[in-house]
Amino acid sequence: MPISPANRKRYPKNWKEIRAAVRDRSGNRCECLGECGRKHIWNGDHRCVEVNGALASWRTDRDVVVVLTVAHLDHTPEHNDMGNLRHFCQICHLRYDREHHARSRSRTRDAKLGPTML
């Protein structure tokens, strides 16, 4: 997922190097072990089979190219310890972040409504 302009300052100056290290570790393959809640098509090592740039196995009605992105397991861009970072395909990343995004949407909606509208 691209970094939103609002969050860009939360990432370190060496983010490109950190991202490259995660990519090297992953072998350019999704590192999800089921944290996203999906039942993966297992490849013998209990890891998602999606490979960056390949056609997605989960989409059969049309061609979708897999894009791997770096996920912060604790959703904190400032926490860039390698143990907190995973290379996830787009579906695993979105599913892993599902509850976090729902909370963010709720906070944003509540802030727009203000205390008198709640």
Q: Average pLDDT of 107-111?
A: 56
Listed by start position, the domains of the chain span: 8-113
pTM for the predicted model, two decimal places:
0.77
| Among 59, 80, 71, residue whose Cα is nearest residue 26 | 71
What per-residue confidence (pLDDT) applies to 43?
A: 62
Integer Cα distance of 85 and 39 in angstroms: 21
Integer Cα distance of 63 and 75 in angstroms: 30
pLDDT tens for each residue of 2-53? 677 777 889 999 999 999 999 999 999 999 998 888 877 666 677 899 999 9
Residue 105 has pLDDT above 60, yes or no: no
